[in-house]
Amino acid sequence: MASAARTSKKSSRNSGSNKTQLRKRLQKLLNSPAYQPMNKSELAHSLGIAPKKRQALRHILNELESDGKLKQGRKGRYVLRDDSDTVGILRFQPAGHAFVDPEGKTRERGVFIPPGATGTGLHGDKVAVQIEQRGGAPRWTKHIKNGQTRSKLEAKSPDEAKSAEGRVVKVLERRNDAIIATFLQRGKFSYAKSDDPLLPATIELDATDLPNPRPKPGEKVVVAIERWESRRHNPHGKVTKILGPPDTPGIDILQVIYARRLPREFPPEVIAEANQFSGQVTGKDIADREDWRKRPVFTIDPDDARDFDDAILVEDRKDGGWDLAVHIADVSHYVKPDSKLDREARIRGNSTYLADRVIPMLPESLSNGLCSLVPGEDRLTHAAIMRFDKNAGLKSLRFCKAVIRSARRFTYKQAYALMQKPDPDDAFCKRLQTAWQLASKLRKKRFEDGSLDLDMPEVRAVLDKAGVPVALERIENDESHQLIEEFMLAANEAVAKHTKDKLKPSIYRVHEDPDADKLFEFRQLALDYGIKAGDLGNRGEIQKLLAAARGRPEEHAIKVGLLKSLKRAAYVSEPIGHYGLAKVNYTHFTSPIRRYADLIVHRILAAITGNAPAKTPPLSKLEELAGHLSDTERNSSDAEFETQKLKQIEYLWHEAKRSTQKNPVSHPAMIHEVRRKGLFIELTDCFIKGLVTEAGLPHCRGGYWFDGAMARFIGSKPKRVFQAGDTVQVAVSRVDFQRRMVDFKIIE
């Protein structure tokens, strides 16, 4: 029996080895200057493969084609894709056109796909695109005609021409295997209506292939797209799961999870691997580590946090300087390269914090257990030990593997309260004050170096056990948050510089310089609010503008406008700097429980410092990985925003039901833009955006007329004017959950 098992394993290894060799031979043939396009049979003949052994060749050809490295030409003959082809993810826009983001190349601008050139590609599919025009692609703009918003194509000027234009030539991989839809029936015809407006509205279903029991009309179901042969017909799908009535608790969040293709459960083999650990740090684990268990390190985290990545200790020195220790959970001790845990973490890329749940990167036994720096328990860390002079200048730096026992767990609220009102009986009060002395100097120094102050309050929906929003909580970026922020920034910068100085390939967190035309648009926005703005190509002028907006009602809108004008931060394999933070060297090191990029950086740093085997990923692998992690981070961030928005507008809906005509529940708001369809406003207490239509304006006997030239509504008897920059008091009049929009009415 054992002999048979060994023979089977050997056969499996030989099969894998043979396939690898065949792939190399095929790629050599395809890359040969003398290669002429061949079909499968011709390729097999050229490679000397017998007819009975051609299955492996067919698999390799399918894989290369699915990866976008190979394409079929006329009569099924294969050729390598050239520079005129792009492979990426198709992302539709509400106006009907789409963009294809080159896979793994987040710094490249997406390829513009006109409405008639998307083929049978669906939102989220992996597609191959033929480039038809390098730059100069038209842009879609919205304009008002007869009171209706319409889309039209507008040619770009040569200076603005940056996006290539192309057409979808092949769908390489369908990624719509789990769509939330409404099951409907018309006679004997069964179909589903997708909840995602970016997907075809109607998905045909086979009435003879429905689950038993069948879904009821109006129920929410999960549908997998099986085929779509022509745009002249609807796609065909299959119901894979029945979720229940539309008001079933949690369906709104599931809709986002399925639409974003977020992972839902860990595979059993990953859970089994995580459960192999004892749950306690052993003597073997702490061998050769610095022992910090008697040192008073502590953590500061949100109220509901369970995965504590970082702990700190700050001590002042006799020369007026400080010693700072930033201890980060040593996830790399448990999650080894290419293990089942590692492969699953790499696929997920990061943890996702939705409004009602967390989708973790690592199983709970690690993320909330063995890796979390909980108080009173031995935990393994990878630490950055830094010494600063009295002006917060970095004087020395070292890294070490350590074992700690956190002496105190603060929430941000607890730490802030103690910082504002010191308690002489609390042993950690002085430690918080010492830590803030250093953090405040680091913060001041950072802004002097050109860092942009983009900190804003965050509003989150507070949910009850049933997932119903019962309050909106505003979280300020106070000194307790700033304290931890500065120390994490210092550690990340120190690791990035050390890695770069050692000339080792790594992953960096970068933020590229903004486009001049985007900054020009932002400058116009600031001027519209009456804020003076100089040449924003100069970082100092942006800082002056932000300082001028501080404390004004439009401060939040100004900061959001600036963020939209800046490029999105990403992971790359080159240390090209971080514009927003004004740092030449920057990476992510401080959150390996919830970010795979940090785990990779931990491994690379350990190899450099001699605390782990010296084998690190090659540059080509890091480039590919960085692109993947940028994609997963963006997807998670968008999902987090979507679920928060869902719960926030649901809270307003419940609030509107409690409101009465005599006692309306209202909110202060600012008008940001005025168009023919109404006033675009933002609530200034919770930053929710919405629309006041003309019907939502206060009663005026003479009615209102829209002054398009001045972008304002004017009423008479009594005379009223509503224009951008005005503050008003509003109440909810209608909530559209499908479009996630809120209409308001002005309360006098």
Confidence of residue 4 (pLDDT cuts 50, 70, 90): very low
According to the model, what pLDDT value does residue 143 have?
39
The stretch 290-306 carries a mean pLDDT of: 95
The stretch 689-714 carries a mean pLDDT of: 93
According to the model, what pLDDT value does residue 151 have?
41
Angle between helices 55-66 and 2-31 (to 10 degrees): 60
According to the model, what pLDDT value does residue 160 have?
35
pLDDT digits (tens, 9 = 90+) for 34-68: 788 888 888 888 888 888 778 888 888 887 776 66
The stretch 182-201 carries a mean pLDDT of: 90
Q: Single out the residue of 385, 415, 253, 258 nearest to residue 322, CA to CA.
A: 385
pLDDT digits (tens, 9 = 90+) for 386-440: 999 999 999 999 999 999 999 999 999 999 999 999 998 998 999 999 999 999 9
pTM, 2 dp: 0.83
According to the model, what pLDDT value does residue 17 have?
64
At 86, the amino acid letter reads T
| CA atoms 210, 214, 219, 222: torsion sign | negative
According to the model, what pLDDT value does residue 16 have?
54
Confidence of residue 259 (pLDDT cuts 50, 70, 90): confident
According to the model, what pLDDT value does residue 732 have?
95
The stretch 156-160 carries a mean pLDDT of: 38
Q: Do 258 and 244 meet the contact criterion of CB atoms below 8 Å apart?
A: no
> What are the residues facing 734 on neighbouring strands?
743
The stretch 462-468 carries a mean pLDDT of: 93
pLDDT of 11 higher than 60: no
Question: How far is the C-alpha of 120 from the C-alpha of 74, rounded, in Å?
Answer: 20
Choosing among 3.50.50.60, 1.10.10.10, 2.40.128.20, 3.40.50.920, the CATH entry for 20-80 is 1.10.10.10
Choosing among 3.40.50.300, 2.60.60.20, 3.40.640.10, 2.40.50.140, the CATH entry for 659-746 is 2.40.50.140
The stretch 13-22 carries a mean pLDDT of: 67
Q: What is the mean pLDDT of the chain?
A: 89
Domains 85-173 and 659-746 share a fold: yes
According to the model, what pLDDT value does residue 84 have?
60
Q: Do 539 and 603 meet the contact criterion of CB atoms below 8 Å apart?
A: no
In angstroms, the Cα distances linking 199 to 128, 186, 218, 251, 658 are: 19, 21, 19, 19, 35
Asked which of 148-157, 301-310, 365-374 is least confident by mean pLDDT, the reply is 148-157
Residue spans of the domains in the chain: they are 20-80, 85-173, 179-248, 268-513+567-643, 659-746
According to the model, what pLDDT value does residue 308 have?
96
Give the architecture (CATH level 2) of 85-173.
Beta Barrel (2.40)
Confidence of residue 105 (pLDDT cuts 50, 70, 90): low
DSSP string, 520-565: HHHHHHHHHTT-----TTSHHHHHHHHHHHTTSTTHHHHHHHHHHH
Confidence of residue 205 (pLDDT cuts 50, 70, 90): very high
Look at domain 179-248 and name its CATH class.
mainly beta
Half-sphere exposure of 675 (CA within 13 A, CB side): 14
Contacts of 329 (CB under 8 A, 6+ apart): 308, 309, 310, 371, 372, 373, 379, 380, 381, 382, 592, 593
pLDDT of 106 higher than 70: no
The stretch 720-739 carries a mean pLDDT of: 92
According to the model, what pLDDT value does residue 162 have?
58
According to the model, what pLDDT value does residue 70 have?
79
Q: Do 330 and 380 meet the contact criterion of CB atoms below 8 Å apart?
A: yes
Q: Single out the residue of 471, 475, 458, 456 nearest to residue 554, CA to CA.
A: 456
The stretch 554-568 carries a mean pLDDT of: 93
pLDDT of 146 higher than 60: no
pLDDT of 83 higher than 60: no
Q: Single out the residue of 443, 425, 451, 427 nearest to residue 480, CA to CA.
A: 443
3-state secondary structure of 396: strand
Share of the chain above pLDDT 90, in %: 66
pLDDT of 138 higher than 60: no
According to the model, what pLDDT value does residue 104 have?
55
According to the model, what pLDDT value does residue 154 have?
46
According to the model, what pLDDT value does residue 65 have?
75
